[in-house]
């Protein structure tokens, strides 16, 4: 796909991978619509990228009407919807056996149903114009399920399954579908992850990718219509190791991923994505 002049919608664009992806597409000449619940951060990003054609539209991906309004406004503003990057997501570090089910449900609402809402709202526009590309940001956790991240991993497995089915369903409409699998990434995700038990520190030998490197891979995926995209050789090696030596992978994860103290925390649901500075947060 030719990136210059295309309209790209990026959810979860107020920070991290989404913010870097917005910069990558804007620098390449795309019309970029940045979307998240955090209106003030979106406006800061637009100001930073001015005078490039970047528009901020606050959205709550769990609300179908909010998502439909996002797509309608983007189409009216730029005349098409060419690329959708489903990046909005939240994290959860919690046990499965006795974790809070409300937190688990909310994680699926954002990470899975939020992406489905965006796909179902964007695909009619892409079908009408006879082209488009959808990127679902999964995770290495979409292949490997670490202890205490099983619910989060389940949402990322779900995104991968959705991508694989959707790719075949919309192939005749000339709509490409990519799943990207980032590993450890230098974003605020870990600090903002809801922790029902304290998460352990990452081993110092672990290699972190930058959000810019993930954004470059998203750009390449759209440009060349790639199917499954990984960010680093270490990510690929981890997936291969889990496939061929799962018992060793289990042992390593049990060794390095030990939970800390238990907490009583829940996700806070905001009533509207349009309020200044609103965001998904946790109540403790």
Q: How many residues does the chain have?
A: 284
Cβ within 8 Å of residue 120, ≥6 positions away: none
**Tokens at 281, concatenated:** 């947060």
Whole-angstrom Cα Rg for the chain: 18
Q: In degrees, to the nearest 5, what angle opens at C-alpha 183 toward C-alphas 177 and 187?
A: 100
| Residues marked as catalytic | 152
C-alpha 17/C-alpha 151 separation (Å) is: 21
Query: Pairing mode, if any, of strands 185-186 and 266-268?
Result: unpaired
| Cβ neighbours, 10 Å, residue 227 | 12
The dihedral of CA 190, 156, 13, 209: what is its sign? positive
Alpha helix (H) residue ranges in the chain: 16-27, 39-49, 64-78, 101-108, 114-129, 150-169, 189-192, 211-224, 233-244, 246-256
Q: Which long-range contacts (CB under 8 A, 24 or more apart) does 48-57 make?
A: 49/22, 49/23, 52/26, 52/27, 53/26, 53/78, 54/22, 54/26, 55/31, 57/33
**Contact call for residues 131 and 1 (beta carbons, < 8 A):** yes
C-alpha 213/C-alpha 76 separation (Å) is: 31
Q: 241 to each of 159, 206, 246, how far by Cα in Å?
A: 22, 16, 7
């Amino acid at each position: 796909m030719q990136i210059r002049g295309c309209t790209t919608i990026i959810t979860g664009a107020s920070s991290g991978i989404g913010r870097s992806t917005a910069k990558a597409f804007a620098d390449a000449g795309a019309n970029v619509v940045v979307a998240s619940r955090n209106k003030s951060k979106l406006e800061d990003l637009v100001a930073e990228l001015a005078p490039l054609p970047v528009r901020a539209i606050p959205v709550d991906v769990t609300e179908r009407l909010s998502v439909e309004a996002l797509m309608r406004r983007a189409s009216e503003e730029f005349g098409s919807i060419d690329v959708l990057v489903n990046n909005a997501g939240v994290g959860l570090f919690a046990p499965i056996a006795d974790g809070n089910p409300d937190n688990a449900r909310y994680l699926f609402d954002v990470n899975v149903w939020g992406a489905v809402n965006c796909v179902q709202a964007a695909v009619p526009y892409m079908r009408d114009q006879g082209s488009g590309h959808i990127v679902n940001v999964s995770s290495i956790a979409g292949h490997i399920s670490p202890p205490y991240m099983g619910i989060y991993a389940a949402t990322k497995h779900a995104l991968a399954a959705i991508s694989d089915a959707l790719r075949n369903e919309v192939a005749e409409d000339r709509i490409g579908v990519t799943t990207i699998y980032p590993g450890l990434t230098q974003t605020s995700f870990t600090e903002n992850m809801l922790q029902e038990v304290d998460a352990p520190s990452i081993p110092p030998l672990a290699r972190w990718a930058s959000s810019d490197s993930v954004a470059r891979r998203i750009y390449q995926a759209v440009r060349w219509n790639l199917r499954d995209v990984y960010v680093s050789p270490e990510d690929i090696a981890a997936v291969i190791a889990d496939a061929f030596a799962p018992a060793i992978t289990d042992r390593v994860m049990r060794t390095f991923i030990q939970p800390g103290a238990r907490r009583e925390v829940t996700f806070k649901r905001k009533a509207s994505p349009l309020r200044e500075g609103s965001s998904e947060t946790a109540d403790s």
